[in-house]
Structure 1
Amino acid sequence: IYMGITVNLADAWEPYKAAKTALNNTLDLSNVKEQASRYATVSERVRVQVQQFLKEGYLREEMVLDNIPRLLNCLRDCNVAIRWLMLHTADSAYDPNNKRLRQIKDQILTDSKYNPKILFQLLLDTAQFEFILKEMFKQMLSEKQAKWEHYKKEGSERMTELADVFSGVKPLTRVEKNENLQAWFREISKQILSLNYDDSTAAGRKTVQLIQALEEVQEFHQLESNLQVCQFLADTRKFLHQMIRTINIKEEVLITMQIVGDLSFAWQLIDSFTSIMQESIRVNPSMVTKLRATFLKLASALDLPLLRINQANSPDLLSVSQYYSGELVSYVRKVLQIIPESMFTSLLKIIKLQTHDIIEVPTRLDKDKLRDYAQLAPRYEVAKLTHAISIFTEGILMMKTTLVGIIKVDPKQLLEDGIRKELVKRVAFALHRGLIFNPRAKPSELMPKLKELGATMDGFHRSFEYIQDYVNIYGLKIWQEEVSRIINYNVEQECNNFLRTKIQDWQSMYQSTHIPIPKFTPVDESVTFIGRLCREILRITDPKMTCHIDQLNTWYDMKTHQEVTSSRLFSEIQTTLGTFGLNGLDRLLCFMIVKELQNFLSMFQKIILRDRTVQETLKTLMNAVSPLKSIVANSNKIYFSAIAKTQKIWTAYLEAIMKVGQMQILRQQIANELNYSCRFDSKHLAAALENLNKALLADIEAHYQDPSLPYPKEDNTLLYEITAYLEAAGIHNPLNKIYITTKRLPYFPVVNFLFLIAQLPKLQYNKNLARRCLKCLQMSWVPFCFWRIMFGTQSSPGGLLKHTCLISFLMSSEQSCNFFCFFTERIILKSSTIAKMNLEMKLSCS
C-alpha cells in the first residue's frame, strides 16, 4: 500500500460480500497454480537472460542503442517476477491460523519452485543490470549532443574529401575526374551539415534518406571497384547510423527504467533477505559491489513519500528526505556489519594463536632449536586469517562512495563505523560479564576478576594493534575513543541514580545512533559495571570490618589483621580500565559522597534540631560554659552529662561520617594512582598542568589582594576546563573539595565537640604505629578511617580538635565558632580512661 506495508486482500475483503466474490475467481486453486507456474518459468528465463547481459563486454554502447526495447522488456519481466514472488511468498502476508490461506501459500511455494536464495540472486542481478543500464544512459545523455555534432562533422568531412577526389585536386589511385559526382558529394556534405539537432524527428528521417542515397550512388556509379572510395562511403554511412542511434537516446528510457524498477513494495520485505545477504558477503566479500546496486534500487522507494511534498514545494522536503535516507543507510550498515563481525571472529583466533600457540622467538637462538621455533602450521594459520581480514576490507572498499537518498555513504567510513560498533559491543559485554561479583565470596573476587578482565582487554588492544595496518585504520585512536566512550557512558548512567533529572540516551553525549553502546540488565542494585566495581570496593573496605593504615596505604581486616587491599588495587584498575576507568570511579564516588552528605543534613535536622531534649541539653551546655573566657568549673561532670543525654544520636552521626571518610580515602588513593601514572606516562603534561595550576592560583590570589588585577570572568570556561584536566591527572586534593552548600546549622560546632569527646575514650596511643588505635579490649566498630578523615594524623589532642573545627563543612555562626575555639583552648578532660590533657589550640575563624 505505502512504503512496503502489505495487505492480504483475502483477509481485508472478508467482510465485504461483493469484493469477496470477485476475489474468489482469482483465488481459485487452478488459477493460483497457473500463475505460480508462469512466474516460475518467467523467473528462470529472465535469470538466464540477465546473466548473459551481465557478462563482461556484452553491454556495449552500440548493442544497447540497437536493442533498447529488448533490454527494457527483459528488465520489466525481471521486476514483475520479483515483485510477484516476493509479495506472494512473504510470511507477513498470511495468517497462519487461516487454513485456506495457508493452503494457497503452500501451493504457491510448490508451483513457483520458490527458493529464497535464487530469488535473491535474481534481485541482485536485476539491480546490477538496471544500474549498468542507467549509468550508460546517463553518460550517453550527457554526451548526446557532443557526439552527434562529432559524427555530423566527420560524415560531412568525408563527403567533402570525396568531392575533392572526383574534382582531380586530390589525386587518388585509378579515380578519374567526375564533375557530377564532385557536385553531388558536395551537396551531400551540405545536407549533412544542415541536419538540426533540435529537430530530432526531421533530422532522423533525413539521415535515413542520406544513407539510402549513399548506398544507391555506390551501386549506380560502380564505385565498388575502388576500395578507398568504398571505405569513405562506408565510414560516412557508419557516422550517419551513429547519428540516428544518438538522436534516439531519450530521457524517457531512464524514466521508464525508474518506474519499472520501483522497489518500494519491498521496503519492509527486504529485511527477510538480510541473513542471506550477510551469508553471501561472508562467503564472497566482493558481493558488496552487487549489493551496492541493490541498495540504490531500494533507494527508489524514497520517491513515493517525497512525491506530493515536492510538488507542493513544502519546506518539509529536506527533513523527510533526511529521515528516509537515514533509515536506508541504517539498513545498509546493518547488512554490512557482517564484515566487522567476521573480521573480529578471525581476530580472536589470531590472538589465541599468538598468545597460546606461537612461542616468542628470542633475540639469540641456537640453530639446533630453529625448527622448534619455526612453528610453520600456526604461522600459516595466522597468515591465512590475516589474508581473510584483508579480503573483507577489500570487499567493502570496492563499494565506492555512494549517494543513498541525500546521504553520501563512504565505504571506508562504513568500515570504520562497523569496526567501532563491533568493538563497542564486545568490549561492553566483556566489562559487563567480567565485573559481576559474589558479595558472599571470601576472599573477595575483586582482584582475580580484574586480572582476568585485564587479560581480555589486553587481547582486544593487541588485536587492534595487529589489525590497523591491514584495514588502514588508526587502531589506537579508535581504541581510546570507544573505550573512553563506553566507560563515560556507564558512569553517566550510574550517576543517574543520584540525579533528579535523568540524562536519557538521546541526551547523552556518549551514546550514538550508528555505534550504540549496549545496555545490559542490572544484576544487583548497580545499573552498570562501574557501579558494581565501586560498591565491591566499598564492601571490602567497609569501616565496620576494616581499618586503613595511612603510612602503608593499605586496608586491613580488624579481626584477622590480614591485608584486604592496597594501592595495588587501583594500579590493577588502571591497567584494566585505564585512566578513564579510574576517573569515572572517582566521579561516581563524588556523587555518593554528595548523597551521604545530603542524608547527613537530613539526619542532623531530624535527630538534633527537631529533638527538644537534645536542644535543651545543648542550651544547658552553652549556658554552663559561659562566659567563654573563663575555665569551666566541674567540666568533667558537665561534659559527660551532656554526652549521656545525647547518646542516642551518636550511632547515626558516626555512621554518616564513617561512610564519607571511607570514600574520601578511596578518592585520595585514586588521585595518587592517577598522578603517578600521569607523571610516568606523560611527564610533560603533568608538569604543564602543575605549572598552569600554580600560575592560575597565584593570579587569583593576587586579584583578591588587588582587585584591579585581572580575574577570569563568569563566561570564561578556563577554570572549569582546567579542573577536568587536573582531576584526570590526579592533581587535586579530595579533602579540600566542596561537595554541597547549605545554610548554617545551629549547634553544629558544639555537636562536633561532644561527638569527639564521646569517641575519644575508645582509642589509645600505639607506639609501634605512632598513632591512635582501637583499644584491644573494647572492640567497637570505629576504624582508623574515621579518625583519618575527621582529624588527620595529628599526634596531639589539640591537633585533633583543631582538625575537628577545620573540616566542619558547616558552621552555625561566627559567635558559636569563636565559642568552640575558646572552649577547646581551655578545656581539661578528665576520665578514668583518659589521662589529664591540657588541650591548647590556636584558631582563627573568619
Structure 2
Amino acid sequence: MLAVRDAGHGLILSRHQHPTALAQALPSGLLATAAQGDVLLARLLSLSSRLPKALLNEGSSSQYAPVLFDFRYFKEAEVYERRIEASPDHVALDEGFREEFGELVEEVFQLFEAIVEQHRRLVGCLEQLRGSSIAQATLETVMQSQEGRQVLVEALAQQAALLLLLDRCIEGGVRERCVVAYYRIRGGAHAVGPSFGDIMRLCSATGFKTSASKLPAGYPAAYVARLPLPSDVVMSAITNLRSADVYAQLDHFPNPEHRSFALSHQASCVYLLLFYVPQVLHKDPALMRVLVDKHFSDSWMVPWAPGFCADLAWEWDQYRAARAALAGVVAPGRVRDLAQMYKGLLPGLESQMSHYLVAGVLQEEYVVQHTSEVFNCLRDANVTLRWLLLHASTRHRKLHSVMADTAPSAPDILNLLLKTAQLEFEVQRVYSDILQHKEARWLAQRQAVEDGFRQLARFYAALRALPGSDVDANLVTWFGRLAEQVSTMECTDHASASTQVQQLLRVLEDAARFSPADASLQTEQYLTRIRSQLAQLVSLAAVHKGLLTTLGAVGDFGYAWRLIDAYTPQLQALVRSNPAAVGQLRFLFIKVRRVLDVPLLRISQANSPALAETAHHYSEALLAYCTNLLQVVPSAVFDHLERIAALQTGQMAEMASRVEKDSLRDYAQPEQRAQRARLGANVACLAQGITNMDRIFLGVLELAPTQLLQGGLRALLAKWLGAACKAALVFGPPPASLSFTKAPSSQGMSLAAVFGAGAAFDREFTGRHHLAARLAELARSTSGLRQTLESMQDLLHVPGLRLWQEELERVMSLSYEADAEQYMAAQAPSSQTAAARSGGEPSTSGSTSPSFLWRVQGAELLGVAAFRSLRATLGTPGLVTLDWLLASRIASGLQRLLGLLEGKGHKGGWRSPMQEVLAAWGPPTSCPANGPAAYAEAVEGHRRLLAPLLHVLPLIGQAQLLRRRIALELRSSARLDAAGLVSALPQYRYSRRLAMLERVAPKDTPDACALATGMDTLLQQYHPVYRTVWLQLVGQCVRTYLSETTGAVAQGIQAVGIDVMLPREVSMLMAFLEEMGRYGTMSRKQVHEFIPPLVADTWLSALAE
C-alpha cells in the first residue's frame, strides 16, 4: 500500500495502513462520515458550476422571476399561487421552468438534504464517543491514536467547510429560490420530509456576498451555529491541534522557519473549528496567541477547501481576541519584511536549481551524496512559492498594496515554479529508480563485498603457507568472520544497515595498518575495492521510501488550486517568449495533479462507492486547467507557421530550375533564411516539448498533449481559412434591389461571405473588378500556408496536408450549411444572401458558353480563369460546396416557380389561362386557326402572368450553367440541361458569328442559355409526359410557321441556308431547342416525333442519337 498524502494541505500519513485496518481502528461510522464529507464537497463544487442563470439572477433580470420566490413565499403561499394562476403567461412560464429545470432543482435540494444528514450522522458518532464505555471507542482513545485523531479533526472541520463552501458557491438567495421551487414542484408540505425545517434553516440567506468588502456581523460563526457540534469535542480537537503535530509533518521540515508550511493542514482545521467556539475568537487571547504563534506566525492566508483560501486579516477583524493575536503578523512593516525576504531568496534558489538541472548533474551518485543540499533547496523553494502565491491574493487593502509594491514579479515566481517542479520530478525519478532496483543491487554489492573478504582470507592463508611467513593465523579467521557478517546484512532496516557498513569501513582502516609489510600492496588493492563497494552499500542504505514521502510533503501544491489560474496568461506569455519552457509544463502538470490526493484519501480508505464519481470531478477540473494552459502551444506554433508562410511568399524569391551564376547572390537572402530557420527552430522546440509530454494521467482522465496540439492546429487553421476567404472575397454592399438580412454565422462562415457579394460578375457591385486580383492574392496566401504546413509536418508530428484538406472541407461544409438553411427556409430568393450567391442578373449578363459570362459591352465577367483561380484557392472542397450551394439556390427557385404554377399568390393560378390558350391553339397535331398570330395573342394576353417566369427561370438556368462550369473544372461528368420558353422567342436572334442565340434587347431580356436551361430543369420536375406535351406544342408551332412560308423553303435549306429562308420565329425556336439539346438528355428520336426531320437534322446537330 502506497503512502497516502495530502497534496491539498500538506498531509502525509507516514503509515502504510490498509483502509480496512484503519476503519477497524476507528469508532463505528467515523471514517465513513469523513469520507462522505469529502464526497459532498465534490458534489457541491460540481453542482454549483452547473446552476443556470435562471436561478442565479435575481429580480427582473431572470426570465423566470415571476415564478421564483424566496422564503417570503411560505408566509403567503396562497397569495403567490393565486398571482401565478391569474396570469396565463405566468402559468406557462411555471410549467416551462418545471420541465426545463425540475430535475436540477431536485438535485440541488438533495444536496441540501445530504448536508443536513451528514451533520446528523456526525453528531451521532460524537455522541457515541462521548458516552461509550468501550475503551477503544472513547473520545480519549481516539485522540491518542494518530489516525483516529486525524480522522476526527477532519470530520469536525469538514462540517464547517461544507457550510462555508455552500454559502460561497450557492448564495443565500439562490438557495432559497431552489428550496421554494422544489417545495412547489413536489406539491407542498405533505411531499417534503421531516428534515425540511433543518434544510430551511441551513439555506436561509446569511447576507454574505462574495464581492462584498465587509462580512456580515457575526459571520460566519452565526451561520455555522445553525448546525452546531458539541463544544467539548471541538475544544478537545483544538487542544490537540495546539499541542501536537497531528500529521507528523515537522519531521519533513527540520528548519524552524518552515513550521507554518509544515503545519498548514492543521492551520486550516484550526481556522474552521474556531467558528464552532466563537467565544475563543472573542474572549480567549491566551489561547489565540498560542494558536497564532504556532500556525500563523508568518502567514495569514489559509487554504481550507479545494480552491478556497481564507484571509485572516479580513475575516478575523470582527473578533477581538483573534484580531489582537494576529496584529503582529499582519502589520504592514512585518509583511514588507517577509516579502523582501522571500524576494531576496529567489536569485539564489534559481541559481542553485539551474546548477542542478544542467544535463548530467543529477546522476544517481550525485543525488545520493547531496541529498541534504537538494532537499533543503526544494524546501526553501516550495516555502517561498507558497508564501508568495498565497499572500499575493490577500483581500486586505493595505496588505495588498504592500505585496504589490514589494513582492517579486509574476515571471520571476513562475520561473521558480517551473524549475522547482522539474527538480522535484528529476529527484523523484532518481530515487524511484534506485528503490525499484534497490534489493537486487544490494544483494549484488553485498555478495561482492563478501567475496572480497573471502579472497582476502584465502590470500592470507596462502601467504601464511609460504616458508618464513609471519602472517597471523587470526587474520585469516578474522576476514572470514567479516565475510559472514556481511552476508547477514539486510537493506530493509536502512538505519541498521548504514551503521553496520560504517563499522566495516572503520575496521578496514585498521586492517590496512596491521597487514604484513610483504603483502601491503596486494592488501591495499583488495581493501580499496572493498571500500568502494561498501560506499555503494552505504548509498543504497541511505535511500528509503521515507525520502519519497518527504519529497511529497515538501512538494505539496494543493494550496494553489484556482490560485494558479490567475497566472495562466503569464505562463502562456512565457511559453511564447521562450519555446523551451513548454517542456517544463509537463513537470508543472505532474506537480499540480497532487491536489487529488487529499479529497480522495478518506473516500478510498472507506471503500466508498462514490470514489469514481468524485475522482472524475476533480480530474475534469485539472484537465480543463491543463488544456486551457496548453492552448498556447498550437497558437504559438500557428503564429510561427503564418510568419514562415508570409516570409516565403512575400520576401523570399522562389528558386528557378536554372540560375545564372551572377544571380546566385540575389537568391541567397541570408537574413530571410536565417529568420526562417529561427522560426522553424521555435516550431520544433514547441513540438518537441509537447511530444515529450507523451501521456499524462490527471487522476482518472488522460491528458493527450499531441492530440491537443493537432486539435488546436485544426481549429486555428479553420479560423484562418474563414478569415482569409472573408477578407479576400467580400465586396461592397449589393444594390438596394438585392439587399437582404445577413445570415447568422454561428454555424460557421457564410458562403455568401466566402464567394463575395457573389454577384461578383455584376457590374453594380463595388470591388467586382478586383476579383481576379483578390483570388490571386488569396491563392498565394493559402498556397504559402499549405506548403509551410506540409514542410513542417515532420517537425510537428502531425499530418499537415491531411489537416489542410480536412479543415478546408469542413469550413466549406459549415459555410454551405449556414447559407443553405436560408434557401430552404425562404420560398422566394429575394434576400441579400440569394443575391450574393447569384452570378449576376441574367438581364445584364449573357452566357456565350458554359465557360464565359458576358456583359452587354462584351467584357468577360466570369470565365475559365476565374474558376481555375477558385479551384487553386479553395480546392476541390470549395468548388464542390459552391455546387451544393447553387443546387440549393435552384431548389429554392423551383419551389417558388412551382408555387406560381400551382396558383400560390395568383388568383386562379395557371390552370384556367393555360386551358384557354390550348383551346385557342387547337390540337397539337394541327395548326392554330389564326396561324402565327395565335402565339402573339397568347403572349400579349398573358404577359403579366408570364413575367415571374421570365425572372425566375433565368436565375435557375444560370445556376445550372455555373454548376456545369464547376463540373467541367473538376473534370467530372454532369448532365445539366438547358431549355427555352416559346413566349420569349421574339426577344432573341441567331448569331452566325457566335453560333448561338443573342438578345435583341439586352437591357430587359434574360440570357437565352440560362432561360433554356431553366425551362428544361422545370420540365424535369414533372412526369416525362409533360416533356412530350411540350415537344408537341413546339412541333405545332414549327409546322404553323412553316405552313405560312413559300415553297422556296426547301430550296433555301439546300442552297442558301436555313437562317435566310426559314421564318425568323422557327429559326429562333430551333436554336433555342439546340441549346436545350446541347446540355440536356433529349434524343433525336424524341424530336423527330414532333418536328420535321429535315428541319430538326439541319439544326439539332448537338442532340444525342
Aligned to 2:841: 542
Classify 1:645/1:557 alpha carbon distance in 2 versus 1 (closer, same or farther; 3 Å).
same
Task: Please give the per-residue CA displacement for 1:3-25, whole angstroms capped at 9, x wherever unaligned.
Answer: 97355636984897579847963
Task: Please give the per-residue CA displacement for 1:381-430, whole angstroms capped at 9, x wherever unaligned.
Answer: 13422432453255346543533226888888887777766655555433
Task: Please give the per-residue CA displacement for 1:640-684, whole angstroms capped at 9, x wherever unaligned.
Answer: 666556443322222221111011111111111221xxxxxxxxx
- Distance (whole Å) between structure 1 residues aligned to residue 462 and residue 427 of structure 2: 48
Compare 169-178 and 643-652 and name the one that shifted more: 169-178
Q: Is residue 954–residue 1014 contact of structure 2 (8 Å, CA) maintained in 1?
A: no
Q: In the alignment, residue 367 of structure 2 is paired with which amino acid? A: V
Aligned to 1:705: none
Shift of 1:576: 2.5
Of the candidates 947, 956, 967, which is equivalent to residue 671 of structure 1? 967
Of the candidates 582, 594, 602, which is equivalent to residue 891 of structure 2? 594
- Distance (whole Å) between structure 2 residues aligned to residue 284 and residue 173 of structure 1: 76
- Distance (whole Å) between structure 2 residues aligned to residue 668 and residue 139 of structure 1: 69
Shift of 1:131: 1.8
Is residue 784 of structure 1 aligned with residue 1081 of structure 2?
A: no
Other structure's SS at 2:432 match? helix
Aligned to 2:643: 345
Aligned to 2:973: 731
Is residue 5 of structure 1 aligned with residue 303 of structure 2?
A: no
Aligned to 2:418: 124
Aligned residues: 707
Shift of 1:153: 0.5
Of the candidates 137, 143, 157, which is equivalent to residue 451 of structure 2? 157
Q: Is residue 302–residue 325 contact of structure 1 (8 Å, CA) maintained in 2?
A: no
Is residue 773 of structure 1 aligned with residue 998 of structure 2?
A: yes
Classify 1:209/1:282 alpha carbon distance in 2 versus 1 (closer, same or farther; 3 Å).
same
Aligned to 1:763: 988
Task: Please give the per-residue CA displacement for 1:292-341, whole angstroms capped at 9, x wherever unaligned.
Answer: 43343334445567667766465555797477446524523424743553
Q: In the alignment, residue 399 of structure 2 is paired with which amino acid? A: I
Shift of 1:787: 3.6
Aligned to 1:747: none
Task: Please give the per-residue CA displacement for 1:188-241, whole angstroms capped at 9, x wherever unaligned.
Answer: 211211223445565455545555555566667889993543553454455344
Task: Please give the per-residue CA displacement for 1:454-500, whole angstroms capped at 9, x wherever unaligned.
Answer: 2333433554576578x4878xx624641552354234233233239
Shift of 1:442: 6.7
Classify 1:194/1:17 alpha carbon distance in 2 versus 1 (closer, same or farther; 3 Å).
closer
Classify 1:88/1:604 alpha carbon distance in 2 versus 1 (closer, same or farther; 3 Å).
farther
Of the candidates 571, 574, 584, which is equivalent to residue 871 of structure 2? 574
Q: Is residue 464–residue 473 contact of structure 2 (8 Å, CA) maintained in 1?
A: no
Shift of 1:808: 0.4
- Distance (whole Å) between structure 1 residues aligned to residue 593 and residue 435 of structure 2: 22
Map 1:608-647 → 2, pairs under 5 A? 611-612=907-908, 614-621=910-917, 633-634=929-930, 643=939, 646-647=942-943
Aligned to 1:446: 771
Aligned to 1:104: 399
Shift of 1:124: 2.7
- Distance (whole Å) between structure 1 residues aligned to residue 401 and residue 452 of structure 2: 67
Other structure's SS at 2:695 match? strand
- Distance (whole Å) between structure 2 residues aligned to residue 34 and residue 149 of structure 1: 53
Task: Please give the per-residue CA displacement for 1:571-606, whole angstroms capped at 9, x wherever unaligned.
Answer: 222233233322222222122222222233333334
Aligned to 1:687: none
Shift of 1:829: 5.3
Aligned to 1:374: 665
How high is the TM-score relative to the length of structure 2? 0.56
Aligned to 2:1022: 811
- Distance (whole Å) between structure 1 residues aligned to residue 304 and residue 642 of structure 2: 39
Shift of 1:123: 1.7
Of the candidates 372, 380, 392, which is equivalent to residue 89 of structure 1? 392
Q: Is residue 328–residue 404 contact of structure 1 (8 Å, CA) maintained in 2?
A: no
Q: In the alignment, residue 574 of structure 1 is paired with which amino acid? A: R
How high is the TM-score relative to the length of structure 1? 0.71
Aligned to 1:496: 818
Compare 479-488 and 662-671 and name the one that shifted more: 479-488
- Distance (whole Å) between structure 2 residues aligned to residue 564 and residue 245 of structure 1: 85
Shift of 1:165: 2.3
Q: Is residue 351–residue 459 contact of structure 1 (8 Å, CA) maintained in 2?
A: yes
Q: Is residue 336–residue 402 contact of structure 2 (8 Å, CA) maintained in 1?
A: yes
- Distance (whole Å) between structure 2 residues aligned to residue 501 and residue 58 of structure 1: 69
Classify 1:21/1:643 alpha carbon distance in 2 versus 1 (closer, same or farther; 3 Å).
farther
Aligned to 2:477: 183
Task: Please give the per-residue CA displacement for 1:121-146, whole angstroms capped at 9, x wherever unaligned.
Answer: 22232122212211111111111111
Other structure's SS at 1:445 match? helix
- Distance (whole Å) between structure 2 residues aligned to residue 180 and residue 22 of structure 1: 75
Classify 1:570/1:103 alpha carbon distance in 2 versus 1 (closer, same or farther; 3 Å).
same
Q: In the alignment, residue 296 of structure 1 is paired with which amino acid? A: I
Q: Is residue 287–residue 395 contact of structure 1 (8 Å, CA) maintained in 2?
A: no
Classify 1:223/1:209 alpha carbon distance in 2 versus 1 (closer, same or farther; 3 Å).
farther
Task: Please give the per-residue CA displacement for 1:681-728, whole angstroms capped at 9, x wherever unaligned.
Answer: xxxxxxxxxxxxxxxxxxxxxxxxxxxxxxxxxxxxxxxxxxxxxxxx
Other structure's SS at 2:985 match? helix
Q: CA RMSD in A?
A: 4.6
Is residue 296 of structure 1 aligned with residue 562 of structure 2?
A: no
Aligned to 1:136: 430
Q: Is residue 696–residue 704 contact of structure 2 (8 Å, CA) maintained in 1?
A: no
Of the candidates 523, 531, 553, which is equivalent to residue 851 of structure 2? 553
Is residue 842 of structure 1 aligned with residue 842 of structure 2?
A: no
Classify 1:42/1:220 alpha carbon distance in 2 versus 1 (closer, same or farther; 3 Å).
same
Aligned to 2:368: 65
Aligned to 2:675: 385
Q: Is residue 431–residue 548 contact of structure 2 (8 Å, CA) maintained in 1?
A: yes
Classify 1:267/1:435 alpha carbon distance in 2 versus 1 (closer, same or farther; 3 Å).
farther
- Distance (whole Å) between structure 1 residues aligned to residue 526 and residue 909 of structure 2: 124
- Distance (whole Å) between structure 1 residues aligned to residue 796 and residue 1028 of structure 2: 69
Aligned to 2:728: 434
- Distance (whole Å) between structure 2 residues aligned to residue 790 and residue 501 of structure 1: 17
Map 1:206-225 → 2, pairs under 5 A? 206-211=500-505, 213-214=507-508
- Distance (whole Å) between structure 1 residues aligned to residue 466 and residue 711 of structure 2: 69
Shift of 1:63: 4.5
Classify 1:460/1:27 alpha carbon distance in 2 versus 1 (closer, same or farther; 3 Å).
same
Compare 328-337 and 128-137 and name the one that shifted more: 328-337
- Distance (whole Å) between structure 1 residues aligned to residue 1065 and residue 715 of structure 2: 67
Other structure's SS at 2:1019 match? coil
Classify 1:305/1:456 alpha carbon distance in 2 versus 1 (closer, same or farther; 3 Å).
farther
Aligned to 1:253: 547
- Distance (whole Å) between structure 2 residues aligned to residue 323 and residue 143 of structure 1: 36
Map 1:314-353 → 2, pairs under 5 A? 314-316=611-613, 321=619, 324-325=622-623, 327-335=625-633, 337-342=635-640, 344-346=642-644, 348-353=646-651
Task: Please give the per-residue CA displacement for 1:585-637, whole angstroms capped at 9, x wherever unaligned.
Answer: 222212222222223333333437x7337443344456667777666545768
Aligned to 2:557: 263
Classify 1:398/1:620 alpha carbon distance in 2 versus 1 (closer, same or farther; 3 Å).
closer
- Distance (whole Å) between structure 1 residues aligned to residue 625 and residue 403 of structure 2: 32
Aligned to 1:521: none
